[in-house]
Each structure stands twice: as structure tokens, then as C-alpha cells.
Structure 1
Amino acid sequence: MNIHDIPPNIQLELNQLNQDLDQKIPSRKIDKNLLIATWNIRAFGDLTRKWKSADNDTPKRDLHSIQCIAQILKRFDIVAIQEVKANLRALRDTLKILGSHWSLILTDVNRGDAGNGERMAYIFDTRRVKMSGLAAELVIPQEWLNEISDKALTEQFVRNPYAVSFKINNETFILVTLHIKYGKTSSDRIKEIKSIAKWMSDWAKDIHAYHQNFILLGDFNIDKRGDLLNQTFIAEGLHIPEQLQNKTVLRSIFNQTKYYDQIAWFQKPNSNIPQLSMKFLNGGHYDFLPTTLINRNTSKLRKSWMISDHYPLWVEFEL
């Protein structure tokens, strides 16, 4: 089945989706701005290669779904994606829709039950952004694991954070994406979140680091605003812009109070940590619920498996 041979009724819906995206997401302007997003796309793995999956099809995600996903992804220059599975069919077909100028870099599958068979990935528009040489999974030093503290990690990350450097015009920056394990309670997440924040802080202070423009983004599984964030991000000097802390900027399609996904960087004047050199302009989330699969009469639960249970979170920088 040709993924580019779109049925007329679906094409009409995609046109409406793009009209809404035109209103909600800033346009990409050559030499003027950079748009970065993070999106946990639920169980982004296999695909039913039909335009409309049936009730007995597994998975429920179909060609209509990935056309919607692709329309959203192409609004950004780089997207960090969490929950990419071992099976890459949906991701590969999404890249075909985006076109040959889009590229991909990703980790191997996280083995073991806790890793949930996931990868982390970046997709990016090579007309706008190039990789600049660094790609690495971050590993905690053994000395940190030996620390005696109720907030110290005692084992490596369940899913290693993934750092990749990119360049646009004269700006070079490192994106670090991760998907924190959920655990049984919110306090279970403190160790991993605090460790990655400390790792970023130490790396940024290192004068021998590859580059000191760091942006941390991904799914931190933070249940709500407040102490957990203060104990981890803020304590290590990481900054989340006010626009993304606004209560109108949502993360979960099921619960408006959840604070799972974040984008952060160092921005503290007079500190010994180099600050981000790019100027932040704006940020937010994109609510795809009213504009995707609108003629399918799907429940929110089913749509979470076809599109996602997370909203994409984005930021815009001035170049």
C-alpha cells in the first residue's frame, strides 16, 4: 500500500490539521529561528498498514495515524522521541512521509523488563540542522553509585540518557534526551532525575567538554509541579522557562495536572556554569486531540495508542 496515495477524506482532514498547526506553532524561518520539540509517542513501534485499522487489528496505529504524526513532526527542526520500540516500522514509514531530507539517529533497544524494550531517537530536517560529531549514551560514574545517600543512584539509568550534538548556522548545541523510569511513587524518580541534572551541571562546567550549549529534554515522569522539580532540576541550576511552567501548557491527554515532559537548560546569571547562547523566544504544547482522526469516532484511550498519550512539547530560539 502506497503511504503517499492518501484517500481524499483523510487528505481533507490533514489539510485542517495543518491549518490548525499554522495557527498554533511558529513557522520555521531560514537563519531566523530554531524549533526543538520532545514527544513521547506511545509505543512507537509496529504499524498496521491500512488506512483504517479494524477493531481486531494489532496495533491500532495505522497509516492515517502516522500521517497525522508526520504533519506535527515536520513543524520542528529537531524532535527528540521517547518510547521508540524495537520494531521501527511506524518510525520508518513516518520518515518516508517526511521526505528524504529528514534524517534519524537513535539508540539500541534497552534490554530488560525495566527498559520496556524502548529506544530514544532524534529526527531532524537536514536542510536546517546538521549533526556536529557527538553521539553518546550517558553513564553514571562508579563513584556516584558508591555514595551513601537516600537520594543517590545505586545502579545505572534504566534507559541511558542520549546526547547528540547539532549545528545550525554558527550555533552548536547538545541535546540530551531521556525517559525516566516511573517507579511506584514520585520519590522513586528523584534519584534518576537528580543524577542527570548533576551530570549535566558537571559536564557544562568542564572546560574540555565538546560544547557547552546544553538542552535537556524528554519524559521525566514528574507527576506534578513543585518539590520534586525543585529538589532535582532547580537545585543543579537548570532552568525551565516560565512559558512551559504555565498551567495551560499540558503534558498528558488524560490528566491536565501531570508534568511529565520537560525542556530545560542552564540560565543563571553570575554562576560558574556556561549559559545557553541562544535566545529563547517561546514555547508550549500542541493539542492534537481536536484535529486528528476526527471522523473516526475514536475514544481518547484508542487515540492514545494511535497518536499518543502525551502532547508534544516545543521551544523556539532566535538565531
Structure 2
Amino acid sequence: MDSILDPMPASVSENLKLFQADLSSKIPAKALDRNLLIATWNIRAFGNLTRKWQSQEDDSPKRDLQSIVCIAEIISRFDVIAIQEVKSNIRALRDTLKLLGDHWSLILTDVTKGSAGNGERMAYLFDTRRVNLSGLACELVVPKEWSSGVDNHVLENQFVRTPYAVSFKSCGQTFILVTLHIKYGKKSSDRIAELKWIAKWLADWAGDINAYHQNLITLGDFNIDERGDLLNKTFLEEGLYVPPALQNEVVTRSIFNETKYYDQIAWFMNNQHVPNLSLEFKTGGHFDFLSTALTNRDLTKQRLSFMLSDHYPLWAEFRL
């Protein structure tokens, strides 16, 4: 059995050089004490893997060691990244951490039980040379007192996959990240209740923490099909703000459909339309890995989606 720390085959090493150059051309470099790079990525069914450098047709799962090399290389470009669809089996996650090195750490939830939760958990991976935990880790639960509904959208149960909040510190700046993965449902209207209640919860919390000069940022897979109504009726109504750089049509989310708007990074604006952040947003985007990932192999887009993901990573750069 191959190991992620074994010497790479020549074809994998050559592809990695191409992949690294592509990343460097599209994502800002880490600058000591000057910037903070935050990302979110739904990594499709991020659980088990086949410990071969290149999986074969009869292997299951299809994700292999070369896939992990690419995943780890993407993650390494950020200071902290929220990951959705981490499964109960964390073999792929463990190998990713081995490759990233001892200066990387993680914090994650337990597995969501029940068929609706799809056996998933959420995780944060972070570069401890630049970011550290600052003490808070919690899951969002709706109080019973709120059971009357928001604009006639009643959340009959708790969130299917409980949003996960963790606080971090970098260069004296404290920030709280809240990651989520909204249940897709059968139609877009099925998502409104969860989206509105999470937005209300965050708005209520943001009002409490601003006195402490902290930063509240929500990020993850909102499962919003298209730009427009669903986002406007839920998150934006509560004052959450998605910067224009991340609303740009060229910043796509899905490898299969450029119109999809699943993943978001957002924060609150005050009454003067000024961000409720002490961090200054610089720029953001996605990383389209299709042109360079695993190009030494003749893979269909469908197969690549199970090896890397069907989502692109979404990122934001802040000035410290």
C-alpha cells in the first residue's frame, strides 16, 4: 500500500508543478503580518480514500493519493479554511494533514446523525504559524422562543446540519467564522426556512459581539442555485453582505454549472453601509482547478468531482 509521504511518481510530481504555478497565478501569496486568507470549500464526500497514487476503475473510492496532493496544495494557500462534507471516515482528511505538516491543525464537529444529515461533519483547517484558536467553539441552535417563525417561514426542527462557529486570532485580530451547509431539499423554497433562521440567529449574535470589536464572518455551502431572489429574501434581508468581488459572474461555484451560486462568504453591514469588521476586505474569488488538476490522466469531469470536488474553493483576502 502506498503512503502519502512516499516519494511521488514522476507524473504526479510534474503535474504538481503545473498545479502549483496555476495556484500562484490566481491566489494572493501569504504576506507576514499583512494579510489574512480565509476560504470555504465543499469537498465532495471527503471521507475515505484509496491509498494508491492513481486509483483504477475497480477501486472505491476513486479519491487517491494524487487527489490528496492537489487538495492539500489548495488548502496550503490559505490561513484558515472551512470544509463541508467531511464524512465519518476521515482517512482523506488525516492524509491531507500529514501532507500539510505539523504547523497545520484542525477543529471539527461530530457526525450529523440521521439520513437528512448525510453522515457529514464540518471542519476548519488552519495554519498555526499565522492563525490560532481564540477560545470559542459552538454550534448554533434555535431557541424555542423563536418558534413562531420568520415572515411565515417556520423552522419546524433544528438545523439539519448545525452551523459551526469557531473563533480565531491573527496578529491581534479576533474573528469568528460560522460555517454551514444548508440542506438542499427538493426545491429552492425548501431552503428558505433554514437560510432565514440562520440569518436571524447571526444578526442577533452580531449585535452582541460588536461591542467586543470582533469580526463575524459566515461562510460555506448555502445551496443557493442562482444569484438573486433566494439570497435576497434570506441573508441579505438581515443585513448580511456579500462583496461585489464574490458576486461577480466570473466567480463560479460549481464545476458543472457556472450559474450556480452555492457557496458564499459574507458579513454584516451597519446602518451606514459600512462593514461591521475591523478587518479590511481586499479581494476574493474562486480557484478553478479544471485546467491543471490531474491533467496527467484522462479523467471525465464527473470522475474528477469525486477525486477533488464538484465545488470550487471560494476565498477572501483581508488586510491586517
TM-score scaled by length of structure 2: 0.96
**Displacement of 1:209:** 7.7
Question: Aligned partner of 2:303: which letter?
Answer: R
In 2 relative to 1, CA 223–214 (structure 1 residues): closer, same or farther, beyond 3 Å?
same
Q: What is the match of residue 287 of structure 1?
A: 288
Structure 2 unaligned regions, length at least 5: none
Report Cα offsets for 1:97-147 as digits up to 9, x if no partner. Answer: 000100010000000000000000000000000000000011011122243
Aligned match for 1:123, one of 103, 125, 132: 125
Once residues 24 and 274 of structure 1 are traced to their aligned partners in structure 2, the CA distance between those partners, rounded to angstroms, is: 25
- Partner SS for 2:282: strand
Aligned match for 2:13, one of 11, 14, 28: 11
Q: What is the match of residue 79 of structure 2?
A: 77
Aligned match for 1:52, one of 47, 51, 54: 54
Q: For 1:57-72, what aligned pairs fall within 5 Å after superposition?
A: 57-72=59-74
Q: For 1:147-162, what aligned pairs fall within 5 Å after superposition?
A: 147=149, 150-162=152-164
Task: Calculate percent identity across the aligned residue pairs.
Answer: 65
1:30 maps to 2:32: yes
Question: Aligned partner of 2:248: which letter?
Answer: N
1:256 maps to 2:248: no
Report Cα offsets for 1:58-80 as digits up to 9, x if no partner. Answer: 00000010001111110000000
Please say if residues 3 and 51 of structure 2, whose CA atoms lie closer than 8 Å, have aligned partners that are also in contact: no
- Partner SS for 2:225: coil
Question: Aligned partner of 2:221: which letter?
Answer: D
In 2 relative to 1, CA 148–302 (structure 1 residues): closer, same or farther, beyond 3 Å?
closer
Q: What is the match of residue 170 of structure 1?
A: 172
Once residues 42 and 123 of structure 1 are traced to their aligned partners in structure 2, the CA distance between those partners, rounded to angstroms, is: 16
- Partner SS for 1:114: helix
- Partner SS for 2:115: coil
1:136 maps to 2:169: no
- Partner SS for 1:26: coil
Please say if residues 210 and 276 of structure 2, whose CA atoms lie closer than 8 Å, have aligned partners that are also in contact: no
1:302 maps to 2:303: yes
Please say if residues 144 and 153 of structure 1, whose CA atoms lie closer than 8 Å, have aligned partners that are also in contact: no
Once residues 304 and 167 of structure 2 are traced to their aligned partners in structure 1, the CA distance between those partners, rounded to angstroms, is: 33
In 2 relative to 1, CA 177–148 (structure 1 residues): closer, same or farther, beyond 3 Å?
closer
Please say if residues 204 and 212 of structure 1, whose CA atoms lie closer than 8 Å, have aligned partners that are also in contact: no
Question: Aligned partner of 1:152: which letter?
Answer: V
Please say if residues 61 and 306 of structure 1, whose CA atoms lie closer than 8 Å, have aligned partners that are also in contact: yes
**Displacement of 1:154:** 1.4
**Displacement of 1:2:** 2.9
- Partner SS for 1:191: helix
Question: Aligned partner of 1:128: which letter?
Answer: R
Q: What is the match of residue 314 of structure 1?
A: 315
Structure 1 unaligned regions, length at least 5: none
Report Cα offsets for 1:243-297 as digits up to 9, x if no partner. Answer: 00000000000000000000000123437x9811100000000000111110110
Please say if residues 108 and 124 of structure 2, whose CA atoms lie closer than 8 Å, have aligned partners that are also in contact: yes
Q: For 1:189-268, what aligned pairs fall within 5 Å after superposition?
A: 189-206=191-208, 212-268=214-270
In 2 relative to 1, CA 44–209 (structure 1 residues): closer, same or farther, beyond 3 Å?
farther
**Displacement of 1:149:** 5.2
Once residues 209 and 93 of structure 1 are traced to their aligned partners in structure 2, the CA distance between those partners, rounded to angstroms, is: 40
Once residues 304 and 209 of structure 1 are traced to their aligned partners in structure 2, the CA distance between those partners, rounded to angstroms, is: 43
Once residues 30 and 24 of structure 2 are traced to their aligned partners in structure 1, the CA distance between those partners, rounded to angstroms, is: 11
In 2 relative to 1, CA 17–222 (structure 1 residues): closer, same or farther, beyond 3 Å?
same
- Partner SS for 2:116: coil
**Displacement of 1:212:** 3.6
TM-score scaled by length of structure 1: 0.97
Query: Which stretches of structure 1, 4 residues or longer, exceed 2 Å deviation after superposition?
Result: 145-150, 207-212, 267-271
Please say if residues 203 and 209 of structure 1, whose CA atoms lie closer than 8 Å, have aligned partners that are also in contact: no
In 2 relative to 1, CA 163–6 (structure 1 residues): closer, same or farther, beyond 3 Å?
same
In 2 relative to 1, CA 55–19 (structure 1 residues): closer, same or farther, beyond 3 Å?
same
Moved more, 252-261 or 202-211: 202-211
Question: Aligned partner of 2:297: which letter?
Answer: R
- Partner SS for 1:250: coil
Once residues 87 and 298 of structure 1 are traced to their aligned partners in structure 2, the CA distance between those partners, rounded to angstroms, is: 25
Once residues 160 and 179 of structure 2 are traced to their aligned partners in structure 1, the CA distance between those partners, rounded to angstroms, is: 13
Once residues 257 and 151 of structure 2 are traced to their aligned partners in structure 1, the CA distance between those partners, rounded to angstroms, is: 33
Please say if residues 133 and 167 of structure 2, whose CA atoms lie closer than 8 Å, have aligned partners that are also in contact: yes
Once residues 12 and 210 of structure 1 are traced to their aligned partners in structure 2, the CA distance between those partners, rounded to angstroms, is: 48
In 2 relative to 1, CA 144–109 (structure 1 residues): closer, same or farther, beyond 3 Å?
same
In 2 relative to 1, CA 263–111 (structure 1 residues): closer, same or farther, beyond 3 Å?
same
Report Cα offsets for 1:145-185 as digits up to 9, x if no partner. Answer: 24385312111000000000000011001000000000111
- Partner SS for 2:67: helix
